[in-house]
Amino acid sequence: MSPRLFWSLLLGALVLFGVPLTILYLRTHERVTETVQLPPQGEAGYNPLYVLGQALRADGIEVHSRPRLDLQQMALGPHDTVVLLQDSSELPAPAARALLAWVDGGGHLLVRTPPPAEDDASHEAEQAPVLPAAPRRVRRWPWLLVSALLLAALLSLLLWFGAR
């Protein structure tokens, strides 16, 4: 058998069996794209502020993440920022005083307020918050009304004298 005849028969056999098998495969199988959400691993699994730290690092800002507030180990500078994720009412009194003294020296403190479900009278009776609370109700309506009337009068005078 000549090599030309051999390769021609081999190519014909491949086409004879390959084309129907390819058509059968394409008709019986469907391409499906499936996205599987995996749980976060490493620091992202236990640190809810992990993405914030990555964004700050991308901006060239030095970030240190710690599981607990330890002011002696942290060595905070006068213009550093601390993001306190735990409830400030659960902070020990000496640590809260040291933290407030650091803030008075120029430090920045960001705190999380407790969720509304935890803000009931029994929790407040157990332990008073160490950090001072903001006033609950502020009456601003009379001042807003007076300032709006003064602003309207000023604009009227400007329009009246500016039109002449």
Per-residue pLDDT at 59: 93
Q: What is the pLDDT of residues 120-164, one digit of tens each?
A: 555 555 555 556 655 555 555 677 777 888 888 888 888 877 765
Encode 73-130 in three state secondary structure.
HHCCCCCCEEEEEEEHHHCCHHHHHHHHHHHHCCCEEEEECCCHHHCCHHHHHHCCCC
Per-residue pLDDT at 35: 93
Q: Is 82 helix (H, G, I), strand (E, B) or coil?
A: strand
Q: Tell me the whole-structure pTM to 2 decimals.
A: 0.48
Query: Pick the residue with more confidence: 14 or 138?
Result: 14
Q: What is the pLDDT of residues 34-48, one digit of tens each?
A: 999 988 888 888 888
Q: Is 110 helix (H, G, I), strand (E, B) or coil?
A: strand
